[in-house]
Structure 1
Amino acid sequence: MIEKLLERAMYASRWLLAPLYFGLSLTVLALVLKFFQELAHILPHVFEIAETDLILTILSLIDMALVGGLLVMVMLSSYENFVSQLDIDEGSEKLSWLGKMDSSSLKNKVAASIVAISSIHLLKIFMNAQNIDYVHLKWYVIIHMTFVASAFAMGLLDKLTKH
């Protein structure tokens, strides 16, 4: 009797995660607002600013788009993996990866997204390398390569454990 009650309570506690995933949707909203704020700052001055500054701003916008996609992927996949399946009508538009991403593949997607975001950040730094001292530049590369190595190792471990 007590065991069954505890098991039901633990299983029901997964719903405590739902507000966290909803909170991620609010962070997507914040990111969208910031994206359009940056766009509104740059558009009126597009003919006045240097090409390098425009490219750096565009890279920042790409960064925000990648983070937004990562947030949506984590939010929806985690909800489906840990709380409940999404009940989407058959006639509705459904993302092709929904229901197909387990927590292991989600971790790999997150790692790959972090590498992509880090790559864009590193490219922005390289474009401004003349203003950055060698020591900081070296550390940026080391940190990026750590992300790359971690993502590679996670992918390799996932591949080894699935076979």
Structure 2
Amino acid sequence: MTDYRRQYRTGGTYFFTLVLADRRQHWLVSHIAALRQSVREEQLHAPFALQAWVVLPEHCHLLMRLPEGDSDFSNRLRRIKSAFSRQIPLPMSRRQSQIGKGERGVWQRRFWEHAIRDEEDWLRHMDYIHHNPLKHGLVDRVCDWPHSSFHAYVQRGVYPEDWGWAADLRMPAGE
């Protein structure tokens, strides 16, 4: 078994990617209210700042800042995934290993995490999050994707509404 090593920093800021077990399913956007509720409930249970996010049909990206003295992002993500999974129908096919472990088979077991190092790294991940619907060919303009914190940042004047057109990429090649 692979030895996953996570970098836990109290009060740290992290970029996460959560992916559905079956990427052909589009549960995240078709059950967006359930996902939002799961995140809100977790914020009440174990506070954190959700600085940015984008929800795509089969995966989502989050930028989360933990409170000072707290480094437990793993349990927060586990509870968000679990709460969401309980709110949607069971997948048609689950593996025996999922059934044996009491898993609903909605999410991939692991998640991808990156500890944000500095402001430049934070800005790069903010852009990546907000650019993701365009990257995946879901829209021609970032502002056309409804399930993103991009719209809140436009309202605050951080991004112009026309940021991220297919012809105007700020992303380095290969990302």
Q: Which bracket does the TM-score occupy, shorter chain normalised?
A: under 0.3
TM-score normalised by structure 2 residue count:
0.27
Please identify which structure carries the higher strand content: 2
TM-score normalised by structure 1 residue count:
0.28
Please identify which structure carries the higher helix content: 1
Rg bigger for which structure?
Answer: 1
